[in-house]
Structure 1
Amino acid sequence: MDTQPLYAIKAELFKALAHPVRIRLLEVIAADPDLAAPVSRLLDVTGAEPSALSQHLAVLKRAGVVDSTRSGNAVVYRLTEPLVADLLIVARAFLLRRLAGHDADAGRLAVAQHLPTLPGASVRSVLEAALAESDPVERTAKP
């Protein structure tokens, strides 16, 4: 049994997620009702070179975030847990809330608001939930 502390294991997970292409891959996979996407779609959406895409998917697979199945020449990647999609929704809400609190980030906020919808939440509902908690008076009063 692995006796590595939970926070170290979490850090390894976050390291595996720590690349924009990998986040994009996960969002594409999470947007599918079956939480799956063929490599051909992932190539189209990301515009990544096949070898680079393969390396990113391998990192996610080693981290246990995705797994794959092959049928003939087609390879499909799938989230190992629906919780990964939830993690993406929470991360997006965090991002939107932070951007909404910074006037200088108005352009980035506009871009973030138009990201593709993730399952379980619309971008609008995520933003509304994030903004509901971002009252500047309340934020300054909290320790």
Structure 2
Amino acid sequence: MGTIKTAIPAVSPLTGEPMKRADAERLAGVLKALADPARLRLLSLIQSAPEREASVSDLTTPLGLSQPTVSHHLRILTEAGLLERDKRGVWAYYRLMPSTIAVIADLLTPPRKRATRRTR
């Protein structure tokens, strides 16, 4: 999977408007990154961690996965724009990109529900 840090499309597949092929491919890449249970657990663990960030060593035991496997999943989530990575000395810390998560949620919410959700 290539780097998907390019902008997520603004057109939802639920609006009734046809998506451009490149937009559909970008959105599918992000959704593919989210489609793995281990990756969803990683996002949850990072979001619930103190300071809302975690290193690979913080995540291996709770997931029951090896360091290389956790690093692989973190790389995919980072390339998809769902996490940001902050290198500090020999350690890298990962944190969620709430703006990306919000865009995806908005794209997958039918337009009528989106209008209702915003007015509350």
- TM-score, structure 2 normalization: 0.60
Q: Is the CA contact (8 Å cut-off) linking 2:87 and 2:93 kept in structure 1?
A: yes
Distance 1:34 1:84 in 2: 18
* Residue 70 of structure 1: how far off its partner (Å): 1.9
The equivalent of 2:74 in structure 1 is 57
Which one of the candidate residues 40, 53, 75 is aligned to 1:23?
A: 40
Distance 1:36 1:84 in 2: 16
Larger radius of gyration between Structure 1 and Structure 2: 1
Distance 1:41 1:87 in 2: 27
Unaligned runs of 5+ in 2: 1-5, 8-19, 106-120
Distance 2:34 2:82 in 1: 9
In the TM superposition, what whole-angstrom CA distance separates every residue of 1:89-116 from its partner, at most 9, and x where no partner exists?
A: xxxxxxxxxxxxxxxxxxxxxxxxxxxx
Distance 2:48 2:102 in 1: 8
Unaligned runs of 5+ in 1: 89-143
Structure 1 residues 65, 83: CA separation in 2 closer, same or farther (over 3 Å shift)? Answer: closer
In the TM superposition, what whole-angstrom CA distance separates every residue of 1:58-111 from its partner, at most 9, and x where no partner exists?
A: 1111111112112223221011225538979xxxxxxxxxxxxxxxxxxxxxxx
**Structure 1 outlier segments of 4+, above 6 Å:** 85-88
Structure with bigger RCO (C-alpha 8 Å, 6+ apart): 2
Q: Is the CA contact (8 Å cut-off) linking 2:57 and 2:67 kept in structure 1?
A: no
Which one of the candidate residues 71, 85, 92 is aligned to 1:68?
A: 85
* Residue 46 of structure 1: how far off its partner (Å): 0.7
Taking the TM superposition and a 5 Å limit, the aligned residue runs for 1:71-82 are: 71-81=88-98
Other structure's SS at 2:54 match: strand
- Matched letter for residue 57 of structure 1: L
Is the aligned partner of 1:9 residue 2:26?
yes
Q: Sequence identity, in percent?
A: 32
Structure 1 residues 13, 39: CA separation in 2 closer, same or farther (over 3 Å shift)? Answer: same
- TM-score, structure 1 normalization: 0.51
Greater per-residue helix proportion: 1
Other structure's SS at 1:12 match: helix
